[in-house]
Amino acid sequence: MAGIVAYGAYIPWLRLERRLIAEAWGIPGVPGEIAVGNFDEDSITMAIEAGRDCILDDPVGVGGLYFASTSPPYAEKSCATTVASVLDLAQGSVTCDFGLSLSAGVSALVAAASAVDQGVAPSILVTAGECRLPETKTADEQTFGDGAGAVLVGNEDPIAEIEGVHTSYDEMVATWRLPGDRTVRDNSRFYTAKGYVPSLLAAFKGAAEAFGVAPGDIAKVVYPAPDFRAHGQVAKAMKLEPGQIQDALFAFVGGCGCAQPLMMLAGALEEAKPGDRILLAGAGDSFTVLLLEVTDRIADLPARRAIKGHIASKSMLPTYAKFLEYKEMLNTEEGESNSSMIQMWRDRRAVQPLYGKRCNSCETVYFPPRRLCPNCFAREDSEDVRLARKGTLFDFIDDNLYVSIEPPTTLTISDLDDGARIFMQMTDRGVGEVEIDMPVELTFRKIHDGGGFHNYFWKTRPVR
């Protein structure tokens, strides 16, 4: 069977202390923090970040893109194609969207492995991004976190082989959202007692029998949970040693829905040794267990941010009100934004994979793409070039006039490493932290909802 070739993850820069939520409502609090997507992030942008981390911005040879989320920004319209386009995957790539269930991330992984085995594509990048909205004043609000995970599934030089897949399903209504609901409804007590714990334990038991492995053979058991307590209940019932339990990231990130197992897998793989056997489970509606065996090639995998690199890079939200505002749970002033779906389609190569031009005559790299070189005015004599994702800040200004959830809007002019000069908003920065000549990197974000659809583009940010 196909294996795992690379992994990546994304945890947003902003975090909220659970204490602030509890204090706002006067209810019992839980220690720790939750990761909060910035106001310009959604499950698409976070999946893109995780995908970039996984393939290190190099789409060559990647033959497909799967996207999983229970919180996609569109009710109808593929998100996988947006991620594929931004990552600049070839037009012939296979794309598919997975959702509706907390098991969607692992289901997408299994589907990708099957598709690779069937020769549908040589490799498929599986991404899962979540920014699930909890109801306010609930335990969920202190449990849910935002984040994304990614794995590249393929046959060539896998860092972990998929040795087996075991799956079962369990029908119950315990965690759900109706069309039109913004926030998740659940009965977590009932779900944990009669759904999650027994179903996951049964799946692990069936998998162990099917794979012929004993708990002692396993280096890490990677499984998601509705909350910290339920995660511990399963570990206890399986009599796992502390060293076998993969951190579910509840302490400082929160539960990231269907992305959680892929993020945890990234966490397991960044510490794995050749020969390690890992059990990876998806849980919720369907309960799927994979047996992975880490190969020698894991030592050759280039460095990436994954979990360790992202978790340390953070900024604390000052108030619970900011969290509500970012999640659009409050009515605050909205700016006027115009867009045209036709123009956005026409300019999709410039907007999504960020293509500029390189002049064949004077070699100037420029953006936006035009028929005449802005330097030597050469006419229609240029090559399309995917622009560098890093650069140096040439100029900036903090603007308080543009209507934004988080003013000031830092406007930047940067010189990218390939020479292109580009204007963008900056995100994930502290006011006062920005200065001319500082290094910057690019991140894909939501700009506005003009025209009644999501308008995305790149922004600069200080290097994380």
Partner 1 sequence: MADLKDVAVIGVGATKFGENYDWGVDDMLTIAAFDAMDDAGIKPGQIEAGWIGIQYPFTGFSGATLSDAIKTYDIPITHTENYCVSGLDAFRNACLAVASEQFDMVIACGVEKITDQTGRGLPTSGFGHPVQMAGMTAPSAFGLAFPRHAKAFGTTKEHLAHVAVKNHFNGAVNPKAHFRREVTLEQVMKAPLISGPLGLLDCCPISDGSAAVIVTRADIAKKYRDDYVTIKGMGFATYTNLMMYDKNFDYLAWRPTVKAAEKAYAMAGITDPLNEVDLAECHDCFTITEILNVEDLGFCKKGEGGPAMAEGRFNIDGQVAVNPSGGLKCFGHPIGATGVRMVYEVTKQLQGRADGRQREGAKVGMAHNLGGLGGVVCGVVILTNQVR
Residues that bind partner 1 (CB under 8 A): 335-340, 343-344, 347, 350-351, 364, 366-368, 374-375, 395-404, 408-409, 411, 413, 415, 419, 421-423, 425, 436, 447-448, 450-451, 455-457
- Buried b vs exposed e over 432-461: b needs ≥16 C-beta within 10 Å? eebeeebebbbbbbbbbeeeeebbbbbbbb
Alpha-carbon distances of 30 from 33, 140, 254, 312, rounded to whole Å: 9, 11, 11, 20
Report, in Å, the least distance between residue 378 CB and partner 1: 15
d(CA 16, CA 24): 12
Classify strands 390-399 and 421-426 as parallel, antiparallel or unpaired: unpaired
Report, in Å, the least distance between residue 423 CB and partner 1: 4
132 vs 357 by CB, closer to partner 1: 357
168 vs 339 by CB, closer to partner 1: 339
Report, in Å, the least distance between residue 344 CB and partner 1: 7
Report, in Å, the least distance between residue 326 CB and partner 1: 17
Report, in Å, the least distance between residue 380 CB and partner 1: 18
66 vs 457 by CB, closer to partner 1: 457
403 vs 463 by CB, closer to partner 1: 403
Report, in Å, the least distance between residue 387 CB and partner 1: 12
324 vs 350 by CB, closer to partner 1: 350
Report, in Å, the least distance between residue 428 CB and partner 1: 15
CB neighbours of residue 97 within 10 Å: 20
Tokens linked to 288? 């799927």
CB-based contacts of 337, cutoff 8 Å, min separation 6: 447, 448, 449, 450, 451, 455
360 vs 375 by CB, closer to partner 1: 375
The amino acid present at 163, given as its one-letter code, is: E
Report, in Å, the least distance between residue 452 CB and partner 1: 12
Tokens linked to 344? 């956005």
d(CA 14, CA 317): 6
Whether the Cβ atoms of residue 455 and residue 344 lie closer than 8 Å to each other: yes
Whether the Cβ atoms of residue 95 and residue 68 lie closer than 8 Å to each other: no
d(CA 8, CA 174): 30
Gyration radius of the chain over CA positions:
22
336 vs 380 by CB, closer to partner 1: 336
Report, in Å, the least distance between residue 421 CB and partner 1: 5
275 vs 408 by CB, closer to partner 1: 408
Whether the Cβ atoms of residue 133 and residue 327 lie closer than 8 Å to each other: yes
Alpha-carbon distances of 93 from 123, 142, 253, 260, rounded to whole Å: 9, 39, 32, 25
300 vs 333 by CB, closer to partner 1: 333
161 vs 347 by CB, closer to partner 1: 347
d(CA 215, CA 320): 42
Report, in Å, the least distance between residue 325 CB and partner 1: 18
CB-based contacts of 321, cutoff 8 Å, min separation 6: 24, 330
d(CA 448, CA 454): 6
